[in-house]
Amino acid sequence: MLSMKNLEETIACIVDVFPRAEPMTKAVEITSDEFYPFAEIYCKKAIRERLSLIARDMATGNIIGFLISENLASEPPNGIETINEKFLPIIKLLDGLDENYKEEALKLNERNILRLFMVGVSKHYEGLNLATTLIEENLKLARQKNFSRAIGEATSSITQHILRDKLGFNEKFSIEYKSYTYNGKHVFKNVKNPSRCVLLEKRFY
């Protein structure tokens, strides 16, 4: 589980993975240095909520994967207003998906919904099903903590495949990258694969 003891190493893993591999982060050209404060604020929040996991190489002891999760009903982390403005179109897009979903959840009076926020694996460990395993373990943890369902805003084709095809999540809402605008600009028009950001859901009960 993510803790203060492994905070710095986890952040280092995140800032190595996301600027290199996540479609929206690449589209707005967020660097590893620019990603660091964002990862730090969310990791510190995740430590308090005790819902996030890490993966280590048993031989080296190095952190090679992460899954940062939160309660969908929780407040944004302290310091979110200080992040680089390059993040704003990403946050707005994800918030658009989440708001549609939250309206539906509120009608059912459900507040214990796990949000799978950031998942990734170091480059040399890709293709070993680590991301799938992290998510499976996180879903087990969520059930133990009496969460009723889990959601993920799958921004990449790999995450969409894992959630939908391997773990049985159902698609609820989506936004096309090429048609999305922020301040009048099609900031994600060059994201071709996948063509959409998709919010998927898995119900436990």
Which is the CATH superfamily of the domain at 4-203?
A: Gcn5-related N-acetyltransferase (GNAT) (3.40.630.30)
CA distances from 166 to 94, 132, 155, 198 (A): 23, 8, 16, 15
Cβ contact 44:73 at 8 Å: no
pLDDT digit string (tens) for the chain, length 205 residues: 899 999 999 999 999 999 999 999 999 999 999 999 999 999 999 999 999 999 999 999 999 999 999 999 899 999 999 999 999 999 999 999 988 888 777 666 677 899 999 999 999 999 999 999 999 999 999 999 999 999 999 999 999 999 999 999 999 999 999 999 999 999 999 999 999 999 999 999 7
Phi, psi of 170 (to 5 degrees): -110, 140
Q: What is the DSSP letter of 126?
A: T
Q: Where are the alpha helices (DSSP H) in the chain?
A: 7-21, 23-27, 32-49, 88-107, 130-144, 157-160
Task: Compute the distance between CA of residue 189 and CA of residue 87 in angstroms, rounded to an integer.
Answer: 16
b/e per residue, 106-142, with b = 16+ CB within 10 A?
A: eeeebeebbbbbbbbbbeeebeeebbbebbeebbebb
Task: Compute the distance between CA of residue 137 and CA of residue 116 in angstroms, rounded to an integer.
Answer: 12
